[in-house]
Amino acid sequence: MPDELRDSGADSRAARELWRRAPIWRTVVVAAALTSAAGIYLATQSSSGPGASPVIPAPQMPHAAQTPGPAVPSVSAEDQPGPVISTLSPPAPAATTQSSEDEEEQNLAACHPGLIQAPPMPQIDVANVAAPNLAHIKYHFWVNGAGSVVRVVKTAANYGTPQEWDAEQAFISAMRFSVPQTQACRVRQMELIGDVFETRGKDDRWASYIRLYPRLSFAPGGALQRRD
């Protein structure tokens, strides 16, 4: 047997004998092994530390409660047209009334009467009127479904006498109108306006005329228009 092998076998026997008879030596060997294992573990952990490739977490969707709602513009006292009504309890009666009024005005505008008969118009004396071209007498009157005038109210006048006002009112009351023959028009009274004014004729004399137009009517575009 070669000398190297004999020396190796002798060293192994000596190590086993030392392990069995030397407890302090065994403790040193075990401690050294544990220290080496701890060093390997720490080196492995440090590879995933600051020098390692960063781990990017999956994006997190924000919770619905964290999403801010639409901003509600503040309204100053000057911008408020009237008392603020709480929206917690909708004012159903007010909305219904407004809708009913709009519908009624639409019906009245659709029932626009047309003049078919009128007596001779009384003339207003303008001898003492400084500016006849600015003179007006305005009447509001109501026509029923049969085309008859049922009520006349003088609302403005800057010339004429009480007797002349009454004569113009009687003249309007004697007018006759045509009304659309529908159930909606037959049961309603349509408001019209009569504007008495003066116009100079070819003979340089002033003459009284009356302009008639409905209180409610439809504009050319179809929108409802109100006139005074």
Q: 29-60: per-residue pLDDT in tens?
A: 555 555 555 555 555 554 444 444 333 333 44
Residue in this structure with the two tokens 């019906």, named with its chain if needed: 107
d(CA 216, CA 106): 8
pLDDT at 18: 56
Instruction: Give the model's confidence band at 22: pLDDT under 50 very low, under 70 low, under 90 confident, else very high.
Output: low
Q: Which two tokens stand for residue 165?
A: 């006002």
Which pTM does this prediction carry? 0.57
- In which element (H, E) is residue 206 found? strand 206-214
How high is the mean pLDDT of the chain? 75
Strand partners for 152: 141
Q: In this structure, what DSSP letter does residue 90 have?
A: -
The pLDDT of residue 200 is above 90: yes
**Distance set, CA 81 to CA 72, 75, 216, 224 (Å):** 18, 11, 25, 23
How many C-beta atoms lie closer than 10 Å to residue 137's C-beta? 23
Residue 196 CB contacts under 8 Å (≥ 6 apart), including other chains: 124, 136, 137, 138, 139, 160, 168, 208, 209, 210
Residue in this structure with the two tokens 């408020």, named with its chain if needed: 80
Produce one character per residue of 61-87: b if its CB has 16 or more CB atoms within 10 Å, e if not.
eeeeeeeeeeeeeeeeeeeeeeeeeee
The pLDDT of residue 114 is above 90: yes
Under a CB-based contact definition with an 8 Å cutoff, are residues 116 and 147 in contact? Answer: yes
Q: Nearest-CA neighbor of 200 among 149, 142, 123, 132?
A: 132
d(CA 194, CA 215): 10
